[in-house]
């Protein structure tokens, strides 16, 4: 028997549009749309140009990663995990590798700790550079994305030099990292950071002092502070509401406890504030990368010697390892039954709540033209929902 459809939004607050009245327009934004962050779609019900109801639909990029991982050896899953989040695959590599290491009792060398931190911060910068182009583009500002994608390409060049791959790196593996830094690499990183920093100054002037961007982004998608725990909001979306949460500080993983940085906070919690906060975090990221290059050991092993990975059997147990990615808490829950394959792996991506529950709530009352800007301001990425 088909049950009656129920909704999360309380009946008193939820619009109940009579679609046969002719007053409303039902429209789909996505799955292929310039204002959609990846392959997802929004079913919008609009009255005039105001959205009165929104439903997020995902699944267009479901690849069954979690099922596949149960059928493959622990090591064979590395080409899978990095593909769960294209803009920042390294966080997947780190969480999965760290979970295996924890269950197997593997300690990694000090140099590998710093190289992992370097890789994650480079990834953060590349991901933010892609985001800022999308954020500006969602409000009709096409120049920024040309600049920021160029800057991102410089960072991807660095990844190519370090790992051999531009998008998917498979650099972080159990026991450490796959290789040491090539000769001259750290100098190249510093050169690129100088160029990116100069470009960020330009972006700050052109985008954040632009009257149209300010008019459209200020007040858009306000997230009250009390929603942060109710909805499980993390990352810059929480910090823009003044909630000081950053796993780099809270969990103190890798080399972050040895780095000098403060959690950047906002107060206004709207699309403009979230964007401004991410810009500041990009500057912070550049600063962290310079600190890492200064402080990392120049000598030493980058990888613990481990037995043949095709024969690994990870001791039975479970763990949850999380890292602060650009969008918030990114985690891997891993269960081993003592065999040569994972028993269960589940991925906790921040978009799970940001793109579904939070987006559906914030979209109501928003102008159709601002939906794309709202979504990008939440920095969502659907494949980490679908896995």
The count of residues interacting with other proteins (CB under 8 A) is 51
Of residues 334-353, those binding other proteins (CB under 8 A): 335, 343-344, 346, 348, 352-353
Q: Please tell me whether residue 227 binds other proteins under the rule CB under 8 A.
A: yes
Does residue number 320 form part of the binding site for other proteins (CB under 8 A)? yes
**For the residues of 287-330, what is the DSSP string, one character each?**
HHHHHHHHHS-SSS-SB-----GGG--PPSEEEEEEEEETTEEE
Which residues are CB-contacts of 188 (< 8 A; sequence separation ≥ 6)?
A: 158, 161
Helix (H, G, I), strand (E, B) or coil at 55: strand
Residue 32 sits in the site that holds other proteins (CB under 8 A): no
Rule CB under 8 A: is residue 245 a binding residue for other proteins? yes
**Partners of 322 in the beta sheet?**
331
Strands 41-47 and 24-29: antiparallel
Q: Radius of gyration over alpha carbons of the chain, in Å?
A: 22
- Site for other proteins contains 386 (CB under 8 A): yes
Cβ atoms of residues 323 and 44 within 8 Å: no
- Binding string to other proteins for residues 130 to 159, with x set by CB under 8 A, is what? ------------------------------
Sign of the CA dihedral 134, 136, 138, 142?
A: negative
Among 25, 73, 106, 265, binds other proteins (CB under 8 A): 73
Euclidean distance between CA atoms 184 and 55, whole angstroms: 50
User: Does the protein bind other proteins through residue 225 (CB under 8 A)?
Assistant: no
Residue from 48, 64, 300, 365 binding other proteins (CB under 8 A): 64
Shortest CA distance to 138 belongs to which of 385, 384, 380, 386?
A: 380
For the bound state, the minimum distance from the C-beta of residue 248 to other proteins, rounded and expressed in Å, comes to: 13
- In whole angstroms, the minimum distance from the beta carbon of 18 to other proteins comes to 20
**What is the rounded distance in angstroms from the CA atom of residue 303 to the CA atom of residue 301?**
6
CB of 346 to other proteins, least distance (A): 4
Q: HSE-up of 212 (CA within 13 Å, CB side)?
A: 11
In the list 50, 146, 179, 230, the residue contacting other proteins (rule: CB under 8 A) is 230
- Report, in Å, the least distance between residue 233 CB and other proteins: 9
User: Whole-angstrom Cα distance, residue 121 to residue 91?
Assistant: 10
Closest to other proteins by CB, 2 vs 209, is 2
Smallest CA-to-CA distance from 317 within 298, 301, 337 is with 337
Task: Select 242 or 297, whichever has its Cβ closest to other proteins.
Answer: 242
Interface positions, 352-381, toward other proteins (CB under 8 A)? 352-353, 356-358, 361
Question: Is the Cβ of residue 233 or residue 371 nearer to other proteins in the bound state?
Answer: 233
Residues 42 and 36 sit within 8 Å (Cβ to Cβ): yes
Asked if 144 and 209 touch (Cβ cutoff 8 Å), the reply is: no
Place of tokens 């010697």: 305
Write out the H or E segment, with its range, that includes residue 54: strand 50-57
Q: Which is nearer to other proteins, 43 or 166 (CB)?
A: 43
Of residues 99 through 118, those in contact with other proteins by CB under 8 A are 102
Instruction: Give whichever of 180 and 386 is closer to other proteins, judged by the CB atom.
Output: 386
Q: Answer yes or no: are the C-beta atoms of 42 and 56 closer than 8 Å.
A: yes
Choosing from 88, 93, 121, 329, the residue that interacts with other proteins (CB under 8 A) is 329
Q: Is the Cβ of residue 72 or residue 290 nearer to other proteins in the bound state?
A: 72
Is 140 or 252 the residue whose CB approaches other proteins more closely? 252
Pairing of the two strands 344-348 and 172-173 = unpaired
Is residue 12 involved in binding other proteins (CB under 8 A)?
no
- Provide the CA 284 distance to its chain's centre, in angstroms: 17
Binding site for other proteins (CB under 8 A): 2-3, 5-8, 58-59, 62, 64, 66-68, 70-73, 76, 102, 227, 229-232, 234, 245, 250-251, 308, 310, 317-320, 322, 329, 331, 333, 335, 343-344, 346, 348, 352-353, 356-358, 361, 385-386
């Amino acid at each position: 028997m088909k049950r009656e459809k129920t909704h999360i939004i309380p009946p008193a607050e939820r619009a109940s549009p009579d679609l046969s009245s002719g007053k409303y327009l039902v429209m789909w934004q996505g799955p292929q749309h310039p204002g959609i962050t990846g392959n997802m779609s929004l079913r919008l019900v609009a009255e005039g140009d105001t959205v009165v109801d929104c439903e997020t639909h995902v699944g267009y990029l479901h690849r069954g990663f979690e099922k596949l991982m149960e059928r493959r050896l622990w090591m064979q899953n590395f080409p899978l995990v990095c593909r769960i989040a294209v803009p920042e695959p390294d966080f997947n590599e780190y969480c999965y590798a760290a979970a295996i290491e924890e269950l197997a009792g593997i300690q990694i060398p000090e140099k590998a700790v710093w190289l992992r931190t370097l890789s994650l911060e480079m990834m953060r910068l590349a991901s933010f550079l892609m985001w800022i182009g999308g954020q500006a583009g969602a409000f009709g500002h096409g120049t920024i994305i040309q600049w920021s994608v160029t800057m991102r390409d410089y960072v991807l060049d660095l990844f190519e030099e370090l790992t051999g791959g531009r998008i998917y790196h498979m650099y972080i593996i159990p026991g450490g990292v796959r290789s040491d830094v090539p000769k001259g690499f750290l100098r190249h990183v510093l050169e690129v950071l100088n160029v990116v920093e100069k470009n960020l100054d330009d972006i700050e002037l052109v985008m954040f002092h632009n009257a149209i961007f300010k008019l459209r982004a200020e007040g858009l998608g306000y997230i009250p502070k009390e929603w942060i725990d109710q909805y499980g909001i993390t990352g810059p979306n929480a910090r823009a509401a003044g909630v000081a949460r950053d796993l780099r500080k809270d969990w103190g993983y890798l080399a972050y406890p040895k780095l000098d940085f403060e959690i950047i906070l906002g107060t206004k919690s709207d699309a403009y504030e979230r964007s401004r906060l991410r810009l500041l975090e990009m500057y912070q990221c550049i600063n962290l990368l310079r600190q890492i290059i200064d402080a990392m050991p120049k000598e030493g092993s980058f990888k613990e010697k481990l037995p043949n990975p095709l024969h690994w059997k990870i001791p039975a147990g479970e763990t949850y390892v999380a890292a602060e990615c650009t969008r918030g808490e990114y985690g891997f829950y891993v269960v081993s039954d003592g065999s040569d394959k994972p028993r269960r792996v589940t991925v906790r991506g921040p978009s799970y709540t940001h793109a579904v529950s939070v987006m559906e709530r914030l979209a109501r009352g928003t102008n159709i033209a601002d939906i794309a800007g709202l979504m990008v301001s939440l920095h969502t990425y659907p494949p980490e929902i679908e896995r």
